[in-house]
Amino acid sequence: MPHCEQFLYDNLLGANSATLANLMIIGNHFSGYQDAQTAAQFLARSPNIAHALPSLSTTSFPPESQLGLRHAPFAFTDTCLQHFRTGCSVPAQHSPSAGPQTSAAADSPAP
């Protein structure tokens, strides 16, 4: 799932909440999403990722210089293999989102 939107990863974790230990993801490093936002924004946009992040194990890919990618040498900078420790799950109330939220929607309280 390299280059997928944050909400797609969050939906994937929500849809597989009971069996995260069986899930392996090749894609963007989840901590990059956490580092790029305030804690409140990250939790509002990705409650499933936020809940599962402490149980995440990550294996980075080799440096791109070793992969021999001539046409897109930095396309996979943040790509890694991620899996969850046994017993990790996401609470059922974190249902998949319909799509990305704008920063205004994530920062403002619900009506």
pLDDT tens-digit readout, 54-82: 899 988 877 666 666 666 555 566 788 99
Q: Is the pTM of this model over 0.75?
A: no
Angstrom distance (rounded) from CA 85 to CA 64: 27
Q: Residue 85 has which token pair? A: 């420790």
Strand pairing of 24-28 and 79-84? antiparallel
pLDDT tens-digit readout, 34-59: 999 999 999 999 999 998 898 999 88
